Amino acid sequence: MTEIQKDGCRLASPAEHGRHMAIDDDMSSEATVPALFAEITALLEDAHEIAVRGQNSKLSTSEYRSYAVELRRSLDQIQTLAWSIQLTMG
């Protein structure tokens, strides 16, 4: 699912985040951890956009539910990445 905002920026679906991310055994934690934080930053930006859209008082019940599900998915991904950082750092 790809959405386009009024300003022309593409919004990635939560499933798109992390598609190229892999913690490789050969990859040092110095390279891995900043990449994980960058991914978290992107997910937080997406979560912010979802929360902003959910503030519209004219949405239907199903739209509010849909945004809540999207937000939950983003937050779950953020939590997983945060755990990955903790595991990487030992």
What residue ranges do the domains of the chain occupy?
A: 26-89
Q: Can you give the pLDDT at residue 12? A: 53
Q: Three-class SS of residue 16? A: helix
pLDDT digits (tens, 9 = 90+) for 19-74: 555 545 555 778 899 999 999 999 999 999 999 999 999 999 999 999 999 999 99
pTM value is: 0.67
Q: What stretches of the chain show up as alpha helix (H) in DSSP? A: 29-53, 61-89
More confident residue, 85 or 8: 85
